[in-house]
Every structure is written in C-alpha cells, then in structure tokens.
Chain A
Amino acid sequence: MIREAFLLLRRSKGERTTSLQVRLFALFAMFSVVFVAAGFLFLSLAGIFNAGEHESRVWLEAEMAHLTNGVTTDFSKLSLQSVSLAEQLVRDVHIYAQRNGIAEKDLQSNPELIEGLLSEQMGSLLTVLKNSQCSGVFIILEATVTPEAENAADSRAGIFLKRTETNNITALASKIHFLRGPANIARANGVELLGQWQMEFDVAYADFFDTAITTAKENNGVSLSRLYYWSGRFMMKRNSEYAMLLCVPLIANDGTVFGLCGMEVSSMLFKRNYSPDNIDFPRVFSTLSPSKGSTIETGGGLIAGNSYLNNRDTGELAEISNRKGLYSYYSDNGETYIGLQGAFRLYPAGSPFTGDEWTLALLMPAEDWENAVSEGNTVLYIIGFAFLVISLFAATVVSKRYIHPVVQALEAIKTDDHSAMPKTQIAEIDDLFEFLAKQDAAREAAAAREGGISAEEVTVAPDLSLYLGFVERIGTLTKAERMTFDLYAQGFKAGEIAERMFVSINTIRFHNRNIYSKLGVSSAKEMMVYVRMLNDAAAKKSG
C-alpha cells in the first residue's frame, strides 16, 4: 500500500497530479503528526517531561533533610557525651593522683602508677561505650609506662575499647574488645584483645593527638565544650578500619593538659547509620568530609552507601556545576556525581576549630541520576512513537477503504450504461449515477423518436474507410468479446448482457475495454454508430 502510494506520488509529481488516495493519506498523516506533536507539547507544558527530575529531586531533598537531621543529632550527642566523659575522667584521675600523692603533671615521672590509673577508668569507659552510638571509646595519657624506651617520645599509655559489631550496637550482648591498653586490665575485665592489639598508642602517625593537645594548650581557659576536636578519616596503626575520632583534652585543675579522651565513629558504624535508602538509587551514598572551597575531600571523611565506596572513592570531589542547588562533582577516579550538599557545623561558636570546613553531601553517579530523570520520558517517547506508527497505519487503511468506492464510481462513469451501476452507499455518487442514467434514457428516447441518428451520433459519424476497418477488426474479437458485441448490436444494455451471459457487470466492463481497443473506438456511443451502420448495410443487403 505504502509502495503504491509512493509510486502514485512519484507518478503524480511527474504528471503534476495527485491521486485522491494519496491526498487523503497525506491529510490523515498530517493530522496524526499534529495530534502527537500537540500531545507532546501539552505534556511538555504540563511539566510531565520534568516529572522524573522533579520526583528525584524531591526524594533527594527529603533524604538530605533526614541525613542532616540524623548526623547533626548524633554527632552533637557524641560531642556532649565525650565532653561529659572528659569531665568524669578528669575528676577520677585527680582523685587517683591525690591518693597517690602526685599531681597530674607528675604522671610521666611515676610510670608505675599508670596501669593502676588506667585500670580505674575502665568503669567509666565501659559505661560510656555501652550507652553511646559510637564504635569505640578511648583515653590517651601524655605519658608512657616505659619512659626510657627508644620509642618513648611517640608512645602513649592509654586504653582503646572497641566494638567491632555495629549491627548489635543497641544490644546489651554487644561484645567489646581491647585495641590498646595493658593486657592485664583487659583480662581482669574479661575483655578480649583484638588481633591488632598493642599495649600503647604510637602517636607518631596520629595527627589528631598533637592537634587536640596543642590546641588545648594554646587555648588555656577555654571550656571543654569548645575544645573538642573531630579528626578526619584515620586508621590507627595496625588497625584494619577507618574511623573519625572525637577527641576531648583532659585538663587538670592547674591547667595541665595530661591527655585526651573521646569516641570513635568507625566507617562501618557510619555506613550502618547514614546509608541512604537505596531502593530507587542503588548507588547513592552520603559523606561527611572536610572541604575546601568547592572541593569535598572524601579521602578525609567517611562515606555511607552500598558496596565499598570507602575504598574506591577516597580522593577529592571537585564541584563542576550548581544548577539551582543540584551539584555536580568530578572525582579523582573520573566519575561524575550529582546530588545535594550543605556545609556542616561540627563545632560551636568560640571553638578554635570553627575554621575547619566540613560538608555533608548526598551524591550518586551522574549516570544513575540521568537514568532516573529520563526513565519516565523514555516510556512517553515509546508510547508516542507507537501511537504515530499505529496512526499512519490506520491512515493508510482508512484512506484506501474510503477512496475505493469513489475510484470505482469514476471508472464506471466511463461506461455508457449508467443505469447498470451498483449502489455505492455514497449518496452523492448514487445520485450522480441516477442523474446520468436518466440523461442516457432521455437521449435514447429522443433518438428513437427522430428515427435516425442523434445529433451526437452525427458528430461522431465516421468516414467509409474507418467503417470498413471497423468491420474488418470484428474478426479479431475473442469468443466472449464477440458474444458481448453481438448482444450490444442486438440492443441489449450492459446489465442485461451480464445477466444473459451469467457474468458480473465488471466482466462486461472488462470486455468493453478490450472490444473498444480492438475495434478502434473510444466509447460505446461511437461503437453503436458503426453497429447501426452495419445493421443498415445488412438490411439493405437483405432488402
């Protein structure tokens, strides 16, 4: 059908005419295209094409609000609990020191007292660990039990209690291990040593220790609630897990900074608490990281999300665009991320660390975002395209069916016998046939009355040579064509001939075309002129 349409179109271009069917198909097709285009325009104006982005953004904003609320609440609580722990430890150490006749500043001169001092802090440390949403708790003294040892400058006595199973953090059965501290204290308290256990802290690789202690010394008189310090992502020597450490200095009444205490938020705990819902975006993740200007240093913070993003994405994320609060970042590993972010306040006003910038962000690979945004649109495009294809198909079928009777009627008009035309169910065409049949009948009646050839027939009267050619070509007719011709010669109409020959009117039309062609006439009327001449000749011959 389409091929025919194209052929017709091509032919029509050459002849500068276009068939009715092609015109009608083009009309329907144009309506289809306009309708689909209007549909897309409407959807576009109604914002349907932006629905994916809108929904994703609403989800991001809700998740970001939830994340911000959770991290703010938990980190504030941990900060307060650590400050409270520091106050408790300062009191207890002071009592211990007094009992042993020394001041806190004399601890390093009395290393034999250190294990006893630490042992007495176990109760406070265990209580805090069991009642906090942290993965570890520690105390580090500005002293070592072996001041004469080679590594004494970097070795610090203390205790680090660690909870490795963060899933059971709220359960009473949660098990606690010793990461650092005297083994005797661990065994006396029924606490197992971790595989990475060492007796003392090696602070040579622990910037947090120096930072917290030095800042406390430099800010003498500032309250503890302003002196706590959050380290960046850090892994203790021989440990296997990254963590952020919250450090609060231990300051004696005389102003001596004799150590620090605090809590640990391990990467696994952070992941457990702050992994975003991943049903819609499986690779979305959150991060709390230090930042500088428009760069987020994920290598210095913690990440929570699916899979081991902590190991993979630990470089820097550089901001590349900000579209109405929707940020795009380019990472060291070549990935682009999209999401929301906001500055995160870890410290209160008056803290010496307020200059440290931290960012809390909720990000996902740009590919995931783009897929989500275009997900609904893809379905719409597919539906639109399918609708267009179906419409064009329907246009083809409908135009063919609609035009078919018109074309048939036009063909039929070319015949003489308009009265034999079948009904087309199209009022105008049936009317036309009726009108033409009436005209034919009137003309024949007039001719009969005049007993001769009508004016029209005169106009088509041939010369003798044409007549003789006509008579000669009668012999070229087939049997069926001859039978048809003879019946015309006897005065039968096309419909009557079809009935007598037991064939359809279309077959008679087919014969008609062949007869005209073979006899060299252009119409039934012309043929009938020759027939009459033939009949007259026959009459004369017999008369």
Chain B
Amino acid sequence: MKKIIATLLCAVLLGATLSGCSLFEKKKPVTLTMWHNFGGDIQKGMDVLIDEFNGTVGQKQGIIINVTAITSSAELQDGLNMILNGDPGAPAMPDIFTSYPKTAILFQQKGLLANLDEYFTAKERSEYIPAFMDEGRFGDGGLYVFPFAKSTEVTFINSTLFEGFSAATGVTEACFASFEGIADAAQKYYEWTDAETPDVADDGKQFYTADSWFNLAQAGMLQQGTSLFDGEALSLDNAAYRRIWETVYAPSVEGGFAVYDGFSSDLSKTGDIICSTGSTAGILFYSDKVTYPDNTVIPVEYSVLPYPVFEGGDKYAIQRGNGLCVAKADKVREEAAATFLKWFTAAEQNMRFVGATGYLPVTGEAFETQLPEYIKTVEDSRIKMMLETATEMYDGYGFFVAPTFEAFDGISKQYESGYKARLSSDREGIAAGDAVSSDSALTEFIASQK
C-alpha cells in the first residue's frame, strides 16, 4: 500500500514539474539575429521564406529568425570586418550571416564560428552537392560555411544594343565565346560608336567589363592549365598571366573595356556597356530598361551566355556564392541555427529561393532532379535564361573554388584595386598623350603586387 501511495505521489509531483517545465520552454523561444545580402529585387523572396519559417517550424520549435541587416555583400563584409577587428562602433556579431569563405575563415581562426558538422548527420550532409560542402570546410576539416546560394559567372549581353552594332559591323554573338573575341569586338564597338559623332574625337563607347578582374585572372590561368597561385602568393610572372594581361590591357586603356568601381549592372542601366561577366545571381539587377543621361528610357532585352574561355583553353569557370555562417554559441543557439539551415536548404524551400533570386540549388535532389523541370515553370524570363545557361555550363565546364587561406582576402582586394588603378591611370595617360607600353605596365603591376 505504501508503495502505491509513494508511486502516486511521485507521479503527481513529476507531472506537475514537467507541466511547469513545458510552460517555460514554450515561453522562451530562441531569437537568432541574421544578416544577409539579399536586398533589392530579391529581398521579397528571402522575406517570404523567413516569415514562413518563423510562422511554422520556428513557432513550433521556439526559434525566431530576426533579420537585422539586409545590404550588399560588400557592405556586409565591411560590417563583419569591423566586428572581426573590434573597430569602435562595430555592431554586435549576428547569430547567422551570409559570408564568402575568404571572410569566414578569419572568423573561424578566431574561434568565432560553430562547426556545423556537429548538427548534421552523415546522411543529411550527403544530400548536399559535395563540391559546395567542401568549399565551406576549413583547416580542421569542419564545416563552417553552409552552402545555400551558389552561383557561377556567365556573360550578360544587352541584346537590344548589340543587335544594332552587329548589324552594322558584322560582329556576331560568336565573339562572346572567348576573351580575345570580346576584346576584338570591344575595339570595333569603340571605333563604331566614335564614328557616330565625327565632330567629337575619342568619344567611343565601352563594350565590356568584368565584375571581378581577379576572378577573370583565376579562371584565365586555369583555362590555360595553370594557377594564379603559387602556394599562398600570386604567380604573375609567367606566359599564361602575360596573355591575360595583354588581352585585357589594350581595350581597357583605349576605351573598349570599362574599368569601374561598382557592379557592371550599374553601367548596363545607363547603356554604358554592351556586355559583362558576373555572377549568375546578378541577373535581377540588370534592368529591362536603359536610361540615358537625358532621361530617355528604352526597353531592352538581355541574353545570357556561358563564361568566355581564352582561345584554345579548357572550359573553366568559378564556382562562387556565399554561404551561411553560424556564430559560436551555446548548443541551444547553434542547434536552433542548424534547424533553420536544414529547413531553408531543403529541396522545396531551396527551389523556391532559386526561382525568386537566380541562385543555384545546393542539394543533389534539387539540382539534378527538380531543377530541369523547375526551369520550365519559372515565370521570370531573366531567371529562366540564366538557369538554362548555368545548367548548360554545369554539363560542359570544369568549376573551381577560390582557395581559402588567411591572406587570401587581402591578396584579392589588393589585386583588384591595384589592377583597376593601373588601368585607369594608364587610360588617363593615353588621353593626356603619355602612353605606357603594355610590357612595362605589366612589369610595374607585378612589382606592385609583391
């Protein structure tokens, strides 16, 4: 009898305690701050997904994703660098943020990132495209950048403007197959547009620009069977790099290539270029209108072609796109962040994100099984065109990822700014009648990068 009473008593107390505990659990959801770079035209797609998570899985499991910053990836990286350096006025580190591996590795080395391997089973990890997962693994082999928005680089062409030029000069779309072809077309375009106003000298227009000259150099070296890196240093003093330099230098200083401190889509909006190479994810930033300085607006159409290859080279393009990093915290917060990542990158959500933003899916199922069918249903013609080109490239191109080492971010920034500065100053030199030879410019540039 006493045993029965004791058991009854324990059951009552346990029940009361558990009901008390469950009340507390329900009342204290985990709030995770998030920074991402999906603003502008692609913000809505991201907003809808995060809202949906907060209203379904998040509500059920007590997780709230609180977005506290939406800005360009460059600004996001600036903010992250401020945190990393402990700059005065630096914001608090978010729980989840989008980042390129080159920035993420700096956080990882300071022990500020969670190793996401701990929150995904081997089976779950195997569902993601291995190359995308590998890009987020650093030194100790842990997974620190989780893939969710991948892209490659393609060629964007303002078909409306190009058709006029093509009809007048006979230059065809075949020129976009190689960098040499683009350089040649750029020279012809400059001369053709310059000739339109014979009374104004040297007012030809620019034809092409690259969103990242550093990525172009990396891809160009691989296309020629070598690498831009020798260990953790740049390898520029060789024939392969000389070829890249010579292909780009002449049209850049003579006016056929634009050297611009912003995205190529900016120049496209005002009809200042005909084509550019950049991330597939940039597709929505190309407007369907060109606005000229006198506020004349004309509707335009774009076409998307595979990334150019140096003549005779192998087909290589960069695999880029940032991933999601999770700040190191207690297990509860890390687990909550991992729950969001799993939900967000599950095939269903991943495909919706792809359709709204122009990024590439990250799971094998989404990429191989769902994407081909999904492309047929995409309403935005720009995204549809980009996805078709991207899948074509994934069949015929080799892809590389930028190496990840501590000095990489600094090296890439120094190269990009130094390269643009050199080309801009030499262009100004030519305008002022003070031309420099390509050879001596290269020698000085190589010296400046050491």
Complexed CA–CA distance, A170 and B72 (Å): 18
The answer on a CB contact under 8 Å between B75 and A175 is: yes
0 or 1 for each of B68-107: is its CB under 8 Å from A? (1 = yes): 1111101110110010000101110000000000000000
- Per-residue A-contact encoding for B30-43, CB less than 8 Å = 1, 0 else: 01000100011101
Cα–Cα, bound, A272→B24 (Å): 28
Residues of B within 8 Å of A194, CB to CB, are 40
Distance between Cα atoms of A200 and B289 in the complex (Å): 13
B159 at the interface (CB under 8 A from A): no
- Bound Cα distance A23, B424 (Å): 104
**Contact between chains at A184 and B293 (CB < 8 Å):** yes
- Which B residues touch A379, using CB under 8 A? 20
Contact of A164 among B12, B75, B295 (CB under 8 A): B75
**Partner among A173, A184, A193, A393 whose Cβ is within 8 Å of the Cβ of B9:** A393
Q: Which residues of A contact B55 (CB under 8 A)?
A: 312
Closest Cβ–Cβ distance, residue A86 to chain B (whole Å): 25
| CB atoms of B82 and A171 under 8 A apart | yes
Residues from chain A with Cβ under 8 Å of B5 in the complex: 1-2, 393, 396
Q: Are B294 and A145 in contact (CB under 8 A)?
A: yes
Contact B64 A306 (CB under 8 A): yes
Do A3 and B9 touch across chains, with their CB atoms under 8 A apart? no
A 53-103 contacts with B by CB, 8 A = none
* Residues 381-422 (chain A) with a chain B CB within 8 angstroms: 382, 385-386, 389-390, 393, 396
Q: Is the CB of B47 within 8 A of A308?
A: yes
- Tell me the nearest residue of chain B to A240, going by C-beta: B43
Query: A149: CB under 8 A from chain B?
Result: yes
Q: B28 an interface residue at 8 Å Cβ cutoff? A: yes
Inter-subunit contact B51/A144 (CB<8 Å)? no
**B69:A155 contact, CB within 8 angstroms:** no
**How many Å from the CB of A6 to the closest CB on chain B?**
12
> Which of the residues B20, B29, B40 comes within 8 Å of A195, measured between beta carbons?
B40
Is there contact, CB below 8 Å, between A183 and B269?
yes
State whether A378 touches B23 (Cβ < 8 A). Answer: yes
Nearest chain A residue, comparing its CB with the CB of B52? A308
Instruction: Answer yes or no: B65 CB below 8 A from chain A CBs.
Output: yes
- Residues on B with C-beta less than 8 A from A241 are 39, 43, 70
A166 within 8 A of B: yes
Q: Which of A146, A184, A282, A312 contacts B29 (CB 8 A)?
A: A282
- The answer to the question of B50 belonging to the interface, with a C-beta cut-off of 8 Å to chain A, is yes
Q: For the complex, is A214 an interface residue (Cβ under 8 Å from B)?
A: no
Q: Is B377 an interface residue (CB 8 A)?
A: no
Which of A115, A173, A190 is within 8 Å of B78, CB to CB? A173
B28 shortest CB reach to chain A, Å: 7
| Any A CB within 8 A of the CB of B396 | no
CA distance A142 to B5 in the complex (A): 87
A240 touches B40 (CB 8 A): yes
What total of A-B pairs shows CB separation below 8 Å?
A: 146
Q: Which listed residue, A192, A271, A386, touches B263 by the CB 8 Å rule?
A: A192
Asked if B54 lies at the interface with its beta carbon under 8 angstroms from chain A, I say yes
A144 to B296, CA, bound (A): 12
In the complex, are the beta carbons of B261 and A190 less than 8 A apart?
yes
A:353-384 near B, CB below 8 Å: 368, 371-372, 375, 378-379, 382
A165 CB within 8 Å of chain B: yes
Cα–Cα distance between A543 and B31 once the two chains are bound (Å): 110
Chain B residues whose C-beta falls within 8 Å of the C-beta of A144 in the assembled complex: 295
**Cβ-based interface call for B270 (8 A):** yes
Contact (Cβ within 8 A) A168 B78? yes
Contact B39 A272 (CB under 8 A): no
CB-CB under 8 A from A308, the residues of chain B are 47, 50-51, 54, 67
Give the residues in chain B near A390, CB-CB below 8 Å: 9
How many angstroms from the CA of A268 to the CA of B69 in the assembled complex?
7
- Select one of A145, A155, A375 contacting B27, CB under 8 A: A375
Binary CB contact string for chain B from 315 to 340 against chain A (1 if under 8 A, 0 otherwise): 00000000000000000000000000
| Chain B residues within 8 Å of A115, by CB | 293
| A190 to B262 alpha-carbon distance, docked (Å) | 9
B-contact bits for A244-262, CB 8 A (1 contact / 0 none): 0000000000000000000
Which residues of chain B from 1 to 17 have any CB-CB distance to chain A below 8 Å in the complex?
A: 1-2, 5, 9, 12-13, 16-17
Bitwise interface map of B from 50 to 68 toward A, beta carbon under 8 Å scored 1, else 0: 1100110010000011111
Q: How many Å lie between the Cα of A368 and that of B23 in the bound state?
A: 11
A165 touches B89 (CB 8 A): no
Q: Which of B35, B47, B89 counts the most A-chain CB atoms under 10 A from its CB?
A: B89
Chain A residues positioned under 8 Å from B1 (CB to CB):
1-3
Q: Does B285 contact A (CB under 8 A)?
A: yes
Known: A3-B1, A175-B75, A282-B31. 4 other contacts (CB 8 A): A164-B39, A171-B87, A194-B40, A308-B47
A-B CB contact pairs (8 Å), 26 listed: A3-B1, A164-B39, A164-B71, A165-B79, A167-B91, A168-B78, A168-B79, A173-B78, A175-B72, A175-B74, A183-B270, A183-B291, A195-B284, A196-B41, A199-B291, A199-B297, A240-B41, A241-B39, A268-B69, A282-B29, A306-B66, A307-B50, A307-B64, A311-B51, A312-B55, A390-B9
Q: Which residues of A does B touch, CB under 8 Å?
A: 1-3, 115, 144-146, 149, 155, 164-168, 170-171, 173, 175, 182-184, 190, 192-200, 240-241, 268, 271-272, 278, 282-283, 306-308, 311-312, 368, 371-372, 375, 378-379, 382, 385-386, 389-390, 393, 396
- CB within 8 Å of A: which residues of B? 1-2, 5, 9, 12-13, 16-17, 19-20, 23-24, 26-29, 31, 35, 39-41, 43-44, 47, 50-51, 54-55, 58, 64-72, 74-76, 78-79, 82, 87, 89-91, 261-263, 265-266, 269-270, 284-285, 291, 293-297
